[in-house]
Amino acid sequence: MVRHSKNNTASGVFTYAERQMVDYGTKTKRLGKDSKRPFDSCHMCLNTSRMPMVCTEGHIFCKECVMANILEQKQDIQRLQKEFKEFKKREKRKLDEKRARMDELEVKKYIKSEAGLSETGGKRKDDSEQSISLQEPTKRVRLLEDKSSELSSPSSSSVFARGKERALQRTHDTQSNDEDNKRPSSFWLPSQAPEAKETLKDPSQLSVQCKASNDPHSLKLKNLTAVQFRTSSKGEKLCPSCDKPLLNSSKIDILRPCGHAICHRCVSNFVLPAKECFVCQKKVSSEAEDVIRLGSDGTGFAGGGGQMVASRYDSALQA
C-alpha cells in the first residue's frame, strides 16, 4: 500500500472524521454546560445582571442594557421614517416631472395637428406645394401658440387630467408588454442584468422588539418588571421560602406586582392559594399574567431543557 492511499479523501467514501473537517454545508455540534447562559445573566451583555429586569416572556436584562437597546431601536425607527418620507417626496417629484413632460408633448402634438404640420400620413409633396402649404398655416400656428398658454392655465388643466392618467396607464401597459416580448435570451450578459429599483418599506408599523428569542415580541419599558433575588453570604441566589439554591435546572417564577424570584413549587403551594406574596404581602392574582416564568438555557443534559444541538450552514462558494 502506497503512502498516498492513507491521505484524507483518498477513499471512495467520506469517513466520519473527514466529514467533520469539511468547511461547508450544515454543521451541527452538541452543546455542553459551558455553552449555557446562567439563568441570572443578561441576554445582551452575558454578564451577571445588574439591577435585573425581566420582560413579559421571561427574558432577563440589565436595566442599563435594556434601556440603551430600547433607545437605540427608537432612534433607528425615527431614522427609517425620515428616509421613507424623503423617498416619497422623490417619487412624487419624479411623477410630477413625468406628467409635466406628457402635458407639454400633448400640447405640442395638438398644435401641430391643428396647424396641419403632422409628420405622419399623406404623400410627400413637391417643393413648390410644400412652400405654399407652409405659408398658409403660419397665422394659425401663432394663434394656437397663444392658446397654448391658455391650455396650461389651472382652469384648463382638468382637460388633460383624464387623458394624462390614461396615457400613463397606457405607457405602463405597453412597457410591461414590451419587456415580456423583447426579453433577451442571453440573460447572463452583464448588459442584460436587471436594474435594482429603490424600494423602502413603510416603517409606521415598526415597534421596539425583544431580540432575546428567535421569535421577537414587543418590548416596552412599562412592561418590564424589576427582579429581586435573595442572595446568600456566598453570593448564591436562594428561594426566599425553601432556601434552596436557584440553578439553571430550577423552575423560577417572578411575581409581577413585587418582582420577587421564587421557585415554582413554592409559588404553586403558597403564593397562588393565598393570592399574595409571603415576602412583602402584596396582592397577587391567580391569573398567569402576574406570574412570569424566568427563561433558562438548561443544564446541557437532555432532561434539563433548552437547546441541545446547535447547527450552522456555510455555503461552499460565495460571490
| pLDDT bucket at 155, cuts 50 / 70 / 90 | very low
Whether 180 shows a pLDDT value over 50: the answer reads yes
Q: Which residues pair with 291 in a beta bridge?
A: 255
Under CATH, what is the fold of the domain 26-49+227-319? Answer: Herpes Virus-1 (3.30.40)
By the 10 Å C-beta count (0-12 exposed, 13-18 middle, 19+ buried), 174 is classed as: exposed
User: Residue 226 — φ and ψ, nearest 5°?
Assistant: -75, 130
- The pLDDT of residue 261 is 93
Q: What pLDDT digit, counting tens, does each position of 57-114 carry?
A: 999 999 999 999 999 999 999 999 999 999 999 999 999 998 898 888 888 888 888 7
Where along the chain do its domains lie? 26-49+227-319
Residue 167 CB partners (closer than 8 Å, separation 6+): 102, 106
Task: Supply the pLDDT for residue 86.
Answer: 92
Cell readout for 80 is 427609517
Q: Does an H or E element contain 226, and which?
A: strand 225-226
> What pLDDT does 26 receive?
79
Residue 301: DSSP 8-state: S
Instruction: Give the per-residue pLDDT at 132.
Output: 46
Distance separating alpha carbons of residues 219 and 261, to the nearest angstrom: 21
- Tens digit of each residue's pLDDT (9 = 90 or more) over 228-275: 999 998 889 999 988 899 998 889 999 999 999 999 999 999 998 988
